[in-house]
Amino acid sequence: MAATTKLSPYKAEFLKAAIEGGVLKFGSFELKSKRTSPYFFNAGDFYRADLLRAISTAYAKTIIENGSSSSPIEFDIIFGPAYKGIPLATATVDKLADLDPEKYEKKCYSFDRKEAKDHGEGGNIVGAPLKGKRVLIVDDVVTAGTAKREAIGKIRKEGGIVVGILVALDRMEKLPAPSGDDSTPMPSAIGEIRKEYGIPVLSILTLDDIIGGLKGTGVDDDIKRMEEYKAKYKASD
Residue 228: how many other CB atoms lie within 10 Å: 11
pLDDT digits (tens, 9 = 90+) for 132-169: 999 999 999 888 788 899 999 999 999 999 999 999 99
pLDDT at 4 over 50: no
pLDDT digits (tens, 9 = 90+) for 45-60: 999 999 999 999 999 9
**Could you tell me how many residues make up the chain?**
237
pLDDT digits (tens, 9 = 90+) for 74-123: 999 999 999 899 999 999 999 999 999 999 999 999 999 877 655 445 57
Catalytic residue among 6, 32, 119, 148: 119
pLDDT score recorded for residue 34: 86
Write down the architecture of domain 9-233 according to CATH: 3-Layer(aba) Sandwich (3.40)
Residue 215 CA: distances (Å) to CA of 52, 219, 228: 26, 7, 15
pLDDT score recorded for residue 2: 43
Domain-by-domain residue ranges, the chain?
9-233
Strand pairing class (108-117; 77-80): parallel
Which amino acid belongs to residue 24? L
What pTM does this model have? 0.91
CA distance linking residue 126 with residue 80, whole number of Å: 10
Phi, psi of 22 (to 5 degrees): 75, 15
The answer to whether 235 and 142 have CB atoms below 8 angstroms apart is no
Catalytic residue among 103, 117, 157, 195: 117
- Concerning whether 174 is annotated as a catalytic residue, the answer is no
The answer to whether 59 and 138 have CB atoms below 8 angstroms apart is yes
